[in-house]
Structure 1
Amino acid sequence: MGSDLAKFAADKGVRFFLFNFTDLFGVQRAKLVPAEAVGEMQKSGAGFAGFASWLDMTPAHPDMFVMPDAASVIQLPWKPEVAWVAGDPWMDGEPVAQAPRNVLKALIARADALGLKMMSGVEPEFHLISEDGAEISDARDTQEKPCYDQSALMRRYDVISEICATMITLGWAPYQNDHEDANGQFEINWDFGDCLQTADQHAFFKFMVKAIAEKHGLRATFMPKPFSNLTGNGCHVHHSLWTPDAKSCVFADDTDEMGLSETAYHFLGGLMAHGAAMCAITNPTVNSYKRINAPATLSGATWSPSSVTYGGNNRTHMVRIPDAGRLEFRLADGAANPYLLQAVLLAAGLDGIDRKLDPGKRLDIDMYTEGHKVRGAKKLPLNMLDALREFQKNKALTGAMGPAFSKAYVKLRTREWNQFTHHLTDWERENALDC
């Protein structure tokens, strides 16, 4: 895209721009800027009060200006008079160090200094539910194993096809749509790209899916575990390192049994070393731990890991090696912040490369049925507080993600945990009234 948003507006018939940024909790914030003002606003940025979003700020902080990245601009196919553009928060002439997109860009710069570029693709799962959120939207979607159910998929054809057609219009090259393992659950896959582009697309995808679902009188949710008896919403990340020109995959080595280079194994070693601490970022909510530590669901499997292990083409591990030259990180869920998800993968992997970490032995077993036999495999945190503690004490990750970000993130997420612990649940009343 061109760098002149005013020209973009004139050429495309855009009347308004959503100047967007994503806060620490993954909430997308925006101001609606008319095309007549966009030229000046592109120079100065859109002003926000940082305290009004999930950033560690107070009302005493000065204005925060979100500078739009014109390369990210997307015209809304379902509302073409509006364009969305991702932005970077600045304050007092400096990038806001705790802002997620800035955290990712700092890690990209670090990789670039090493002559490396991370390419990635995401697989965000979501449920289509009733508007009140109480149940899945398709009363006939009741199979015990509904994955790939053709009839259930086609009953939601209007919604899924519109989302996919929108992605085709945007040039994202989507290549398949499917009904997933839970009743009412779907997934749409599209082409990979550099990790900042993927993060921007991931952020827009969540906005787009929700908006199109609303058009059809439905609600879309990426909540990790919206129904206790059904498989939760994961967000798998396929990723690899390339040369700066994106022409040569640094992870690939055809002499290796799994098709991975020494660099890839060290990157994987970083994921293994930091898996538990990464949970604070990749599985960021109280509800996240109802997915990764869940009993078997209606379909027979949770499709999510419970320990820090890797295997070949085996979906029961935290990291899968599906084919040569790439890794699939299967831990993250639908609540993961699109920017922080890419950032923490890069932070952990680069530490593995820097310290030449060994990922340990590949496990070619079904972790769901044989995992109890494995000695020394670290278990994933049982709850959000344990994950935050793992992250806080992990100096490699907190250092790579930046002290300003790490302090702010732990502070605000711990506040959220404390709010949860103050909440009285129905389960407590049902099980403790007779104490």
Structure 2
Amino acid sequence: MSVQDVLNIIKEKNIEWIDFRFVDLLGKAHHISLPACEVEEETFENGVAFDGSSIHGFRGIEESDMVMMPDTESVYVDPFTAHPTLIVMCNIHTPDGERYERDPRSIAQKAEEFLQTAGVGTTANFAPESEFFIFDDVRYESGMNTSYYSVDSEEGAWNTGRKEEGGNLGFKIGVKGGYVPVQPVDTQQDIRSEMCRLLQEAGLRIERHHHEVATAGQAEINFRFDTLTKTADNLMKYKYIIHNAARQYGKVATFMPKPLFGDNGSGMHVHQSIFDGDTPLFYDKNGYANLSEMALHYIGGILYHAPALLALTNPSTNSFKRLVPGYEAPVNLVFSKGNRSAAVRIPVAAVTPKGCRIEFRTPDSTANPYLAFAAMLMAGLDGIKKKIDPRALGYGPLDKNIYELSDEDKSEIRSVPGTLDEALDALEADHEFLLEGDVFTQDFINNYVDIKRGEAKDVAIRIHPHEYSLYFGC
């Protein structure tokens, strides 16, 4: 889409405001709005200035001037603003016109460029399955003398005795009992359908939606794959629309991996494949699960580098509350066809050559999608370059329910790190594959690790409410 095409949209849709957005290191979107009457072709050529020192992890106050450079391919109309507003995603540049090396969106684009220069293929396709909860109420506090959280949902298993409904209406969802029930058990069909309508109007191709396994309003909406950066843009759009649509219904949506104790958490299973033009490179009708040797080497790279990858794909302390055995969490670093207990699953149902792909099930939506997708691609490309064979390294295939294996058999299977600090240790020890082609830089890795170490420390030094249950009476 050209700049003129965008200007035509502004005129045709009577747009009043242009919302220029960028994404910080943690995956949070930020925006500055300009009156449509002040936006011209030069705005897209020169960019929009902002203060980089006010964004966590960017620049110091002595070098704070930065520029948002709009991407005309990313525009869509905001469905929530009272005044017609057009959203435009941007890359971050320095004042001298250089791409900012800590800009997550630029890193994603550099990963796509590296794929082509490496001569492997022309495009990498990604499709995340980003699960979330829709709650009716959320409250939390962390202070000197108090620490608690409380969430509630009309569907919650704990509400079978609640009176506030004016007579309890029943049909609550039991723990692990929420996978695709019909109404009235599923109370959120309409809100998910409305979310899908808004997502479609914003340009996403919606494939399906349904209630997920956990009690209390766990949901999933799937949208169609696209290339790496476009998919990351789409995931930012997806989360923005889901958060705000829930708010319009008087509810609150969260992508937090483990908001409830004792039930399934929310993951972000990421489907991936590489094409050369229109030719799928992961397909071989004679291979295991119809996978080519290239696809197997890609899996080898993902599984070999997985401990380091998790610092970028599961970058929160809460991520590792989800990654525990017993809740369908993919903690086992093996691959398998159609097996949801493996970290890498090969979908085999109704798959065509162009639909042949691998699914990395470990990530979650606390990840910055630009960084997570770029890191996964770089790990896979390293596997292709070095011909890392996951079969030779003991990563499978393992076509069994891993959760039902004996302890002796399980001891032979490598697991994901158990904490954010362990994942950060792995990233510090293993990140050369990310530096290839200057996709990530050493400065970025060091800065990112420092920020995440700070988060881990913030959680570690605080008193946990459960410690009162364990130790108050000592």
Same fold (TM over 0.5): yes
Matched, 1:379 2:415: yes
Q: Secondary structure of the residue that 1:41 maps to in structure 2?
A: helix
Q: In the alignment, which residue of structure 1 is the partner of 2:122?
A: 116
Moved more, 278-287 or 84-93: 84-93
Residue 392 (structure 1) shift: 1.0
Matched, 1:138 2:142: no
1:158 maps to a residue whose letter is D
Q: Is the 8 A contact 1:22 1:28 kept in 2?
A: yes
Deviations 1:74-115 (A, max 9, x none): 112344711221111111321111111111111110002223
Moved more, 414-423 or 220-229: 414-423
2:29 maps to a residue whose letter is Q
1:421 to 428, 449, 460: 460
Matched, 1:408 2:447: yes
Q: Is the 8 A contact 1:305 1:331 kept in 2?
A: yes
1:415 maps to a residue whose letter is G
Deviations 1:31-88 (A, max 9, x none): 1122122224322222222232232422222311111111011112344711221111
Q: Is the 8 A contact 1:130 1:218 kept in 2?
A: yes
Q: Is the 8 A contact 1:103 1:405 kept in 2?
A: no
Structure 1: stretches of 5+ with no match in the other structure:
297-301
After TM superposition, the runs of 4+ consecutive aligned structure 1 residues lying more than 6 A away are none
Spell out the pairing of 1:189-200 with structure 2 (5 A cutoff): 189-200=222-233
Q: Secondary structure of the residue that 1:30 maps to in structure 2?
A: strand
Matched, 1:166 2:198: yes
Identical positions, percent: 29
Q: In the alignment, which residue of structure 2 is the partner of 1:254?
A: 285
Moved more, 266-275 or 371-380: 371-380
Q: Secondary structure of the residue that 2:39 maps to in structure 1?
A: helix
Q: Distance in 2 between the 1:138 and 1:45 partners?
A: 46
Q: Secondary structure of the residue that 2:69 maps to in structure 1?
A: strand
Residue 170 (structure 1) shift: 3.2
Q: Secondary structure of the residue that 1:98 maps to in structure 2?
A: coil
Q: Distance in 2 between the 1:56 and 1:141 partners?
A: 46
Q: Is the 8 A contact 1:398 1:406 kept in 2?
A: no
Q: Is the 8 A contact 2:199 2:241 kept in 1?
A: no
Q: Distance in 1 between the 2:186 and 2:343 partners?
A: 32
The count of aligned residue pairs is: 427
Residues 154 and 380 from structure 1, CA distance in 2 versus in 1: closer, same or farther, beyond 3 angstroms?
closer
1:406 maps to a residue whose letter is I
Residues 317 and 73 from structure 1, CA distance in 2 versus in 1: closer, same or farther, beyond 3 angstroms?
same
Residues 264 and 205 from structure 1, CA distance in 2 versus in 1: closer, same or farther, beyond 3 angstroms?
same
Q: In the alignment, which residue of structure 2 is the partner of 1:73?
A: 75
Deviations 1:320-363 (A, max 9, x none): 00136210110011211111121111010011111111112301
Spell out the pairing of 1:42-57 with structure 2 (5 A cutoff): 42-57=44-59
Q: In the alignment, which residue of structure 2 is the partner of 1:28?
A: 29
Q: Is the 8 A contact 1:103 1:402 kept in 2?
A: no
Residues 248 and 155 from structure 1, CA distance in 2 versus in 1: closer, same or farther, beyond 3 angstroms?
same
Q: Is the 8 A contact 2:16 2:85 kept in 1?
A: yes
Q: In the alignment, which residue of structure 1 is the partner of 2:343?
A: 318
1:370 to 395, 405, 411: 405
Spell out the pairing of 1:388-403 with structure 2 (5 A cutoff): 388-400=424-436, 401-403=440-442
Matched, 1:337 2:340: no
Q: Distance in 2 between the 1:337 and 1:345 partners?
A: 12
Deviations 1:137-189 (A, max 9, x none): 32454323111011157522332111111222234221211000112100011
Q: Secondary structure of the residue that 1:412 maps to in structure 2?
A: helix
2:218 maps to a residue whose letter is Q
Residues 371 and 28 from structure 1, CA distance in 2 versus in 1: closer, same or farther, beyond 3 angstroms?
farther
Q: Secondary structure of the residue that 1:86 maps to in structure 2?
A: strand
Q: Distance in 2 between the 1:48 and 1:371 partners?
A: 57
Residue 395 (structure 1) shift: 3.1
Q: Is the 8 A contact 1:128 1:136 kept in 2?
A: no
Q: In the alignment, which residue of structure 1 is the partner of 2:163?
A: none
Residues 141 and 64 from structure 1, CA distance in 2 versus in 1: closer, same or farther, beyond 3 angstroms?
farther
Moved more, 308-317 or 89-98: 89-98
1:24 maps to a residue whose letter is L
Matched, 1:147 2:186: no
Q: Distance in 2 between the 1:173 and 1:409 partners?
A: 33
Q: Distance in 1 between the 2:344 and 2:406 partners?
A: 14
Q: Is the 8 A contact 1:103 1:340 kept in 2?
A: yes
Residues 334 and 153 from structure 1, CA distance in 2 versus in 1: closer, same or farther, beyond 3 angstroms?
farther
Q: Distance in 2 between the 1:136 and 1:151 partners?
A: 19
Residues 6 and 409 from structure 1, CA distance in 2 versus in 1: closer, same or farther, beyond 3 angstroms?
same
Q: Distance in 2 between the 1:90 and 1:223 partners?
A: 31
Q: Distance in 1 between the 2:272 and 2:381 partners?
A: 13
Residues 389 and 56 from structure 1, CA distance in 2 versus in 1: closer, same or farther, beyond 3 angstroms?
farther
Q: Distance in 2 between the 1:120 and 1:345 partners?
A: 10
Q: Secondary structure of the residue that 1:342 maps to in structure 2?
A: helix
Residue 375 (structure 1) shift: 4.9
Normalised TM-score (structure 2): 0.86
Q: Secondary structure of the residue that 2:389 maps to in structure 1?
A: coil
Deviations 1:374-419 (A, max 9, x none): 4542221111101111011103344243223211211111111122
Q: In the alignment, which residue of structure 2 is the partner of 1:299?
A: none
Matched, 1:350 2:381: yes
Residue 225 (structure 1) shift: 0.3
Structure 2: stretches of 5+ with no match in the other structure:
140-149, 156-170
Matched, 1:94 2:129: no
Residues 203 and 152 from structure 1, CA distance in 2 versus in 1: closer, same or farther, beyond 3 angstroms?
farther
Q: In the alignment, which residue of structure 2 is the partner of 1:177?
A: 209
Q: Distance in 2 between the 1:152 and 1:2 partners?
A: 48
1:311 maps to a residue whose letter is S
Q: Is the 8 A contact 2:21 2:89 kept in 1?
A: yes
Q: Distance in 1 between the 2:461 and 2:260 partners?
A: 22
Q: Secondary structure of the residue that 1:13 maps to in structure 2?
A: coil
Q: Secondary structure of the residue that 1:142 maps to in structure 2?
A: coil
Spell out the pairing of 1:230-241 with structure 2 (5 A cutoff): 230-241=263-274
